[in-house]
């Protein structure tokens, strides 16, 4: 159960990755809701996702805060 929110977040981000604006909004919500170590895991996961979809790189600014 502990990983449920993290896994759900990844699923949502994958599903909205077709639209960079929507992706940015969901990523911002994810950063607010996840625990700090989960945000770090998300950063690693996003690294591989943005290699496949470079148009999402602009959204990574939400991880810097």
Domain residue ranges of the chain, discontinuous segments joined by +: 20-63
Q: Read off the pLDDT of each residue in 42-57 and give the average, rounded to a whole number.
A: 93
Query: How would you label 3-34 residue by residue, b for 16+ Cβ within 10 Å and e otherwise?
Result: eeebeebbebbeebbeeeeebbebbeebbeeb
pTM: 0.88
Q: Give per-residue pLDDT as tens, 10-39.
A: 999 999 999 999 999 999 999 999 999 999
Is the CA virtual torsion 43, 3, 32, 28 positive or negative? positive
């Amino acid at each position: 159960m502990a990983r449920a929110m993290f896994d759900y977040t990844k699923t949502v981000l994958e599903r909205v990755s077709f639209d960079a604006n929507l992706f940015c909004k969901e990523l911002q919500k994810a950063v607010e809701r996840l625990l700090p170590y989960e945000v770090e895991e998300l950063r690693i996961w996003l690294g591989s996702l943005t290699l496949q979809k470079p148009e999402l790189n602009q959204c990574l600014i939400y991880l810097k805060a």
